[in-house]
C-alpha cells in the first residue's frame, strides 16, 4: 500500500482535518526482450521422424519463420513444420544443409536467430536371402540374377524384398576374362 498525504507549501503535513488516501499498486517486472536459448539444432535423417523444441527465454513468445531478404530461407525445403511454440517437427525428404532465420515475438520485443539444420542421408541395409541360381560363368556370358532374393531395410523401418535383382543397381562387373 502507498499512502498519499497532503503537504502544505513548506512540505509539512497538512492540518489533520485533511484525510489521507490509500492506494494499492501492483508492481510487476518490466517485460524483457526474448532471447533464444536454443543455439544449434540436432541433425535429422531423411525418412525419419524429427522433433526438437526451440527454447526461448520468454515462454509466451510466438516463434515463427522470419523471411530475411538476401539471406537463406530454407525452412520449407526441409519438409518440417514449425509451430508458434517453437516445435520443429516432421519427416525430412531431402538430404542437405538448410539455413533459415526464426523470430521470437513477445511483450518485451523481438529476437532473431539463424539456424542451420543438417539432414543426413538415410541408412539402408541389404540382407541376402537367396543367392542367384547361376553362380559360375564362362567368359563372355551375361550376368543372370534369376533366383537372387534380397531384403532391403529402409531408414523409415520398412522392408522391401527384391526378387531376381529388380530394384537393384549392379555395379560394374567383368565377365570378359576368367578369374
DSSP state of 141: P
User: CA 85, CA 55: separation in Å to the nearest integer?
Assistant: 9
| Of 167, 136, 133, 131, residue with least CA distance to 149 | 131
pLDDT at 17: 46
**What phi and psi values does residue 114 have, to the nearest 5 degrees?**
-95, 130
Count of CB atoms situated within 10 Å of the CB of 17:
5
Compute mean pLDDT per 10 residues along the chain, 179 residues long, and list them: 58 56 65 92 92 95 88 87 94 93 93 94 83 87 86 76 73 73
Amino acid at each position: 500500500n502507498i499512502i498519499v498525504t497532503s503537504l502544505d507549501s513548506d512540505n509539512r503535513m497538512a492540518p489533520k482535518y485533511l484525510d489521507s488516501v490509500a492506494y494499492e499498486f501492483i508492481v510487476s517486472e518490466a517485460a524483457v526482450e526474448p532471447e533464444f536459448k536454443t543455439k544449434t539444432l540436432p541433425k535429422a535423417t531423411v525418412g525419419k521422424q524429427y522433433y526438437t523444441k526451440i527454447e526461448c527465454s520468454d515462454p509466451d513468445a510466438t516463434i515463427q519463420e522470419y523471411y530475411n531478404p538476401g539471406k537463406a530461407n530454407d525452412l520449407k525445403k526441409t519438409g518440417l513444420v514449425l509451430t508458434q511454440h517453437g516445435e520443429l517437427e516432421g519427416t525430412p525428404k531431402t538430404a542437405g544443409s538448410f539455413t533459415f532465420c526464426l523470430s521470437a515475438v513477445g511483450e518485451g520485443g523481438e529476437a532473431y536467430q539463424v539456424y542451420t539444420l543438417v539432414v543426413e542421408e538415410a541408412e539402408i541395409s541389404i540382407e541376402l536371402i537367396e543367392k542367384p541360381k547361376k553362380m559360375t560363368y564362362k567368359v563372355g556370358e551375361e550376368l543372370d540374377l534369376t533366383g537372387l532374393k534380397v531384403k532391403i531395410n529402409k531408414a523409415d523401418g520398412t522392408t522391401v524384398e527384391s526378387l531376381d535383382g529388380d530394384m537393384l543397381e549392379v555395379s560394374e562387373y567383368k565377365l570378359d576374362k576368367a578369374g
